[in-house]
Amino acid sequence: MIISDATPDVLVIDMYERSKYGFRSLATVVQRKDNGEALVGAEVLTGAGFMIEPFWETTEDIEGRCYTPYITRHPDFELSVREGAFDRLQQAVDRLPDHWGIVVKAGFRPYEVQVAVLNAFIRESRTRHVGWSDEQHLEHARVFVSDPRVVCPPHVTGGAIDIDVRDKRTGAYIDMGCPPNTDSEISFLHSDLVTSEQHENRMVLLRAMLTAGFAPNPHEWWHYQYGETYWAAFYGYEATLYDVLMHESV
């Protein structure tokens, strides 16, 4: 499945159709500004009814392992998102089925962790695709992890979130076809490798997040962003609300 990179004329189509395109090229020309919004931490997120299950608490998760050295040195680090992203996440909940509960897996990501995650995906690619060149491994990793040498990574701004969804009645995950951080085409938002039911579940989440003002990631059904360069490119804004953040306590 090929995801086309958007050109400016894509902005005239509706947001649902727009979600089938990538916006990385347009994101590179967006003006990067920051409105100074603070981060909202785990206590506020859980107080608002969100479940918090960070990747670093899942030992087998490829991204989660990359946080360990950082958290060891920064024991105050916690899952957090910008205030605006938090507000819009609350709006999205009102547009989901009553029995759906949002699980927040990741938010703000320190710069050095971003680099570590990219390198981890490159190493994973080398074990799975032995015949590929170094450039092929790098490009594959960049599909799922932003390279800070090329683009402004959404998570490093605090404006991006990775989410999953649980059925509040049973505790089971809603079937989206694959778990977050799956690095293959089945993770694509509009993947043709999932069942019709799995695709519709993804679309229920997509419609709620779009209505709340988030931009989707066409390569990852679980990833949404607000206020940063990709979001600005998706909606046709000239400038961002958020830029790269350094780690601070929330």
Task: Look at the chain and report how many structural domains it folds into.
Answer: 1
- Residue 112: give the domain boundaries: 38-229
The residues that bridge with 164 in the sheet, in sequence order, are 103
Tell me, yes or no, whether 19 lies in a domain. no
Query: E strand or H helix at 104, and its extent?
Result: strand 100-106
The whole-angstrom separation of Cα 230 and Cα 173 is 28
Identify the three-state secondary structure at position 160.
strand
The whole-angstrom separation of Cα 102 and Cα 118 is 26
Tell me, yes or no, whether 134 lies in a domain. yes
Asked whether the predicted pLDDT for residue 14 surpasses 80, the reply is yes
What CATH number should be reported for the domain holding residue 80? 3.30.1380.10
Residue pLDDT, tens place only, 77-96: 999 999 999 999 999 999 99
Tell me, yes or no, whether 245 lies in a domain. no
Task: Give the C-alpha distances (Å, rounded to integers) separating 18 from 5, 131, 190.
Answer: 11, 34, 11
Please provide the average confidence, as pLDDT, over all residues in the chain.
92
The whole-number pLDDT of residue 124 equals 83
Tell me, yes or no, whether 168 lies in a domain. yes
Tell me, yes or no, whether 21 lies in a domain. no
Tell me, yes or no, whether 206 lies in a domain. yes
pTM: 0.90
Straight-line distance from the first to the last Cα atom of the chain, in angstroms, rounded to the nearest whole number: 40
The whole-number pLDDT of residue 250 equals 43
Would you say how long the chain is, in residues? Answer: 250
Asked whether the predicted pLDDT for residue 248 surpasses 60, the reply is no
The residues that bridge with 215 in the sheet, in sequence order, are 225
Residue pLDDT, tens place only, 115-160: 888 888 888 888 888 889 988 887 877 777 777 777 788 999 999 9
Tell me, yes or no, whether 11 lies in a domain. no
Tell me, yes or no, whether 234 lies in a domain. no
Query: E strand or H helix at 81, and its extent?
Result: strand 81-82
